[in-house]
Amino acid sequence: MKLIRLTAPLSILFCLFAGLCFAGQLPDKNDIDHLSDESLKAFNSFMAETVVERTGYEFNGAFTDQMLRQDFLLIAEKCSVKLGEIILMQQAIRKRIEEYTGLDWEQLYGVTGLWRKLVAETTASRWRKCRIDYYVAISSTGQQKTTRLAAVIKQTSDESFPKKDRRLLGVKSQWAAGGIRDFKQTAAKLDPIMSTGNFNERVYFETVLFILQISPHTNTGQIYAIAETLKNSRFMNDFELSLKLVACELKTPGEKLLKELPKTSNITGRLILDRLNANQKNSDSFLTMINSTSPFRAELAGLAALSDESSKYAELFGRLCEIEKFRRGIVFLAAAESNKKVNPAKAVDYYSRAAMKTDQFKALLPNISADRIALKGAQLGWQLYYNDTNYCPVAEKAISVYWRLSGNKTDQQMEFLYAKILNQCADAEKGRQLLQKISGDKGLYANAARLELFYDRAKNTEPKSPDAVLLKNELKLFIDTIAVKGQQEQSIKNDALDLYCKILLEEGGKENSTEVMQIIENIPQTDGFDTAGLKAAALAESGEIVKAVSVMATIADDSGCKSGVLAAALVSQVMAKIDEFEGKSASFTDFLSNCQRVANYAKCSISGAEEVAEYKKIEVELAIIKAGDDANKLAKLQSLLNEYSRGNETDIDWLRCRGRLYLKQKRFSEAFSIFQRIATARKQPGISTIRDDKWWRARYYALLSWSKLPQTKQTEVTRAIDVLLNSMKQIPSFWEEKLNELR
């Protein structure tokens, strides 16, 4: 409506402008021809542009997609406005010609037939606009639709329009408006057109096809008879009539025309596709539709979906792939293409299946080869695996299909990727053999393959064992032999150094951590090298935990999980001695904040339910320690603790968290009871005077809680500490100091 409101005054202005232009000179043949060309062009371009939507409307009896309907309405309105402008201009010219009183009038417009031509062209433009207005009306909604259809019906009574055509348009409008709903009554109204049986008139075929479309009992016999008539008429090459005929056949189980008229297959495929897609939300109607849809029709729908490259058919094709009769190459390919963004893992599988059934769609898609489809799957699979190693089996399957279909003649990169993925998640031994072959070939990926073999060995070697030492030395030799000529070699060297540093850190010792620090300082480029993670691990190995946490915290907000494993190791190292860092860090709160960030980051490297539960404990314990005496925070933490520990209340770590919480909440009696309980549990069976660090921690907190009880006397506390320290041997100095502070 806005468009019309804006264009109406513009049209008037345009007409005035045109009027002024013509004022100086008389209109000639060019002016008349130009406007008639413009009119025809506007109409034809609308018809060509909207063939899918119009056929869809006639096939379904309505617009199935509201977005498409609105787009169609806009295009139709635009065309109607344009034709309106042309008509106004034609009428302005006609008025100028008719008002001209010069003696040469007959010479200019009479003998030349220009005036008659202009009158006929103006009528033709009005008829075209009337037809376009019909499309504007059917794509409108509510009262507007009724009003617009009524206006079209009124226009069809204009006797200057072709008689049969306006009759057909009038009946179509009445049908659309719901004025007549009886098929027989409609057919009777169209009988004057049908009775002439003039196969040289397009309107005849249009009328027959309209009757077939609205008929509740269309049969293939009628359709094929009309197809035969059309074939022998002068409209044998009329695309739109053929399309309408095929659309009629779609209402029946027949597929003769579908196969005989392949040029219509793209649009008919879209009709099938839209109908399937529109019905898939309703399980009953979808089931009925599925039963009446043949594999060939599903393939046509697949073809249409492929040309659309949209994700909106992902679910539909996913469902079709589950049904045995639709498991065709093209359906799998359409499923893969529509799922590649929304569900890439499934898409990888669909690509592989499509690739294996390429022979089924060679006729429909002759330019697509099996290995090209398999390559798409392999590439997508690899991308998935690259981002998340859990997709290893998916990628392996896709790459192996590509490997097989390409006859083992893939490029060097794909060969390397196949070997790597085989080694990691399928047939490790076969992967190893292929990697060895590649490493011996001296090709582009020889060094990368050698590095993979080192990774493989590292994975299967016990840390600190003689094999680990051998591996370390061989890896060092390998690193020294890598000649850095470009980015690829540098990346491999960095990865190898990264692995080497990790082996050094696993071996432990001050010397190794110093070597790691030296490597970190001297590495020219850091691509692929886990600088922060290794630096933190080296610092932790040399006992500088606070610094290590601080370094690791700098990458804690990074995406990815490059240092996840090292962060997890650091977290467990920190948590074992968390109490000892209070005096060692400048700001204990900052240290705890860093610990929280590192712990949060380390979660990326864990997957099992037990590990997840461990991290919940760490999260809660750190938060309790950090909360200080803030009652509100402690109350919230208590709720969190209750929620997390439900069903595992006697777990020793949860008990320790609870003990720490009660201590902060000044519930000393309960805290004492919990820590004594933990100490009892931590005690090894048998009589011993040597206890581990965790026992001392529990014993210290038990005595601390007890010392805070109102009834406890300081002399008793001192005596209990004296007895304890006198009874035990090899007391950890930290806890001895803490206990002495309680005296």
Partner 1 sequence: MTPMIDVIFLLLTFFLLTANFRVPEDFLPVRLPEQSQTQSFSVIEPLGISISDSKSGFIINIANAESISVEADNLDKGLAVFAERLRSTIESQSRRPDDPVEIGCSDMVKWDYLVKVYSILNAMGADNITFNLAGNLSDEVN
Nearer to partner 1, 127 or 706 (CB): 706
Q: Between residue 137 and residue 156, which ones bind partner 1 under the rule CB under 8 A?
A: none
Nearer to partner 1, 108 or 724 (CB): 724
Residues 6+ apart with CB under 8 A from 410: 402, 403, 418
Least distance between partner 1 and beta carbon 721 (Å): 10
Among residues 78, 145, 682, 694, the one that binds partner 1 under rule CB under 8 A: 682
Per CB under 8 A, the segment of 22-30, 98-106, 566-574, 675-683 that binds partner 1 is 675-683
- Phi then psi dihedrals of residue 446, to 5 deg: -60, -50
10 Å CB burial of residue 442 (0-12, 13-18, 19+) is exposed
Least distance between partner 1 and beta carbon 669 (Å): 9
Gap between the Cα atoms of 418 and 514, Å rounded: 38
Residues 6+ apart with CB under 8 A from 200: 233, 234
Nearer to partner 1, 600 or 712 (CB): 712
Gap between the Cα atoms of 68 and 439, Å rounded: 57
Nearer to partner 1, 59 or 706 (CB): 706
Residue 740 lies near partner 1 (rule: CB under 8 A):
no
Least distance between partner 1 and beta carbon 660 (Å): 16
Nearer to partner 1, 209 or 703 (CB): 703
Please calculate the CA angle 581-585-590 and round it to the nearest 5 degrees: 100
Per CB under 8 A, the segment of 96-104, 421-429, 611-619, 649-657 that binds partner 1 is 649-657
SS (H, E, C) 342-409: CCHHHHHHHHHHHHHCHHHHCCCCCCCCHHHHHHHHHHHHHHHHHHCHHHHHHHHHHHHHHHHHCCCC
Least distance between partner 1 and beta carbon 679 (Å): 8
Among residues 577, 677, 694, 708, the one that binds partner 1 under rule CB under 8 A: 677
Nearer to partner 1, 16 or 725 (CB): 725
Least distance between partner 1 and beta carbon 681 (Å): 4
Residue 673 lies near partner 1 (rule: CB under 8 A):
yes
# chain residues binding partner 1, by CB under 8 A: 33
Gap between the Cα atoms of 263 and 260, Å rounded: 9
Among residues 650, 713, 740, 741, the one that binds partner 1 under rule CB under 8 A: 650
The answer to whether the Cα torsion of 75, 76, 81, 86 is positive or negative is positive
Gap between the Cα atoms of 338 and 312, Å rounded: 7
Least distance between partner 1 and beta carbon 667 (Å): 13
Q: Between residue 34 and residue 93, which ones bind partner 1 under the rule CB under 8 A?
A: none
Least distance between partner 1 and beta carbon 382 (Å): 43
Among residues 70, 147, 219, 688, the one that binds partner 1 under rule CB under 8 A: 688
Per CB under 8 A, the segment of 31-39, 94-102, 454-462, 686-694 that binds partner 1 is 686-694
Least distance between partner 1 and beta carbon 573 (Å): 23
Residue 645 lies near partner 1 (rule: CB under 8 A):
no
CB 662 within 8 A of CB 684: no
Least distance between partner 1 and beta carbon 418 (Å): 46
Nearer to partner 1, 375 or 661 (CB): 661
| Single-letter amino acid code for the residue at 701 | Y
Among residues 237, 525, 680, 740, the one that binds partner 1 under rule CB under 8 A: 680
Residue 651 lies near partner 1 (rule: CB under 8 A):
yes
| Single-letter amino acid code for the residue at 443 | G
Residue 648 lies near partner 1 (rule: CB under 8 A):
yes
Gap between the Cα atoms of 69 and 64, Å rounded: 8
10 Å CB burial of residue 664 (0-12, 13-18, 19+) is buried
CB 23 within 8 A of CB 49: no
CB 241 within 8 A of CB 202: yes
Q: Between residue 710 and residue 729, which ones bind partner 1 under the rule CB under 8 A?
A: 716, 719-720, 722-724, 726-729
Q: What is the CA radius of gyration of the chain?
A: 41
CB atoms inside a 10 Å sphere around CB 635: 13
Nearer to partner 1, 82 or 658 (CB): 658
Nearer to partner 1, 260 or 716 (CB): 716
- Of 254, 255, 257, 219, nearest to 241 by C-alpha is 257
CB 168 within 8 A of CB 152: no
CA dihedral 9, 15, 18, 20 (to 10 degrees): -90
- Phi then psi dihedrals of residue 50, to 5 deg: -110, 20
- Phi then psi dihedrals of residue 629, to 5 deg: -105, 10
Least distance between partner 1 and beta carbon 410 (Å): 53
Residue 694 lies near partner 1 (rule: CB under 8 A):
no
In the block, residue with structure tokens 């259809």:
149
Q: Between residue 163 and residue 202, which ones bind partner 1 under the rule CB under 8 A?
A: none
CB 438 within 8 A of CB 403: no
Query: Helices (DSSP H) in 25-65: which residue ranges?
Result: 29-49, 51-60
Tokens at residue 491, please? 């990346």
Least distance between partner 1 and beta carbon 580 (Å): 22
Least distance between partner 1 and beta carbon 728 (Å): 7
Nearer to partner 1, 71 or 651 (CB): 651
Nearer to partner 1, 589 or 688 (CB): 688
Tokens at residue 608, please? 């099992």
- Residues, the chain: 743
Q: What totals of helices (H) and strands (E) does the chain contain, helices first?
A: 39, 0
Residue 676 lies near partner 1 (rule: CB under 8 A):
yes
Tokens at residue 498, please? 């990264």
CA 477 to chain centre: 45
Among residues 556, 655, 657, 739, the one that binds partner 1 under rule CB under 8 A: 655
Binding mask 300-329 for partner 1 (x = CB under 8 A): ------------------------------
Residues 6+ apart with CB under 8 A from 148: 133, 136, 137, 140
Least distance between partner 1 and beta carbon 714 (Å): 13
Gap between the Cα atoms of 511 and 541, Å rounded: 10
Nearer to partner 1, 366 or 686 (CB): 686
Nearer to partner 1, 608 or 686 (CB): 686
Per CB under 8 A, the segment of 173-181, 202-210, 673-681, 730-738 that binds partner 1 is 673-681
Nearer to partner 1, 496 or 679 (CB): 679
Among residues 706, 735, 738, 739, the one that binds partner 1 under rule CB under 8 A: 706
CB atoms inside a 10 Å sphere around CB 88: 17
Among residues 687, 710, 715, 733, the one that binds partner 1 under rule CB under 8 A: 687
Residue 609 lies near partner 1 (rule: CB under 8 A):
no
Nearer to partner 1, 468 or 724 (CB): 724
Nearer to partner 1, 257 or 717 (CB): 717
Nearer to partner 1, 11 or 645 (CB): 645
Q: Which residues bind partner 1 (CB under 8 A)?
A: 648, 650-652, 655, 672-673, 676-678, 680-689, 702-703, 706, 716, 719-720, 722-724, 726-729
